[in-house]
Amino acid sequence: MQTVLLVIHLLITVAMIGVILIQRSEGGMGLGGGTMGGLMTTRGSANLLTHTTAILAACFLATSLGLAILAKHQNRPSSILDQTSQTQPATPQ
């Protein structure tokens, strides 16, 4: 279950990075530098990209919380100091 959720999380991350880079920059140091004309300049596509970014961010948050909850409930020691050694150290002869 954790592996499936991790793969979905990575896909959402890559998609979110792509959607953010496609958006029109407002003078910052983004892709295109704010002078990108023709590709995504209409108001409708800006609204679509904004909504897509918000949906992907919500999915990213949900998968992050899911991964944190799954990691908390695993049966692993919480610290190296909590681990007990099953084998006894070799005694010098």
Q: How many CB atoms lie within 10 A of CB 66?
A: 16
Instruction: State the pTM of this model.
Output: 0.62
- The contacts of residue 20 (CB under 8 Å, 6+ apart) are 53
CA 44-49-51 angle, to 5 degrees, is: 95
pLDDT per position as a tens digit, 31-77: 555 455 555 555 666 788 899 999 999 999 999 999 999 988 887 66
The residues spanned by each domain of the chain are 1-23+47-67
Report yes or no: 9 and 67 within 8 Å, Cβ to Cβ: yes
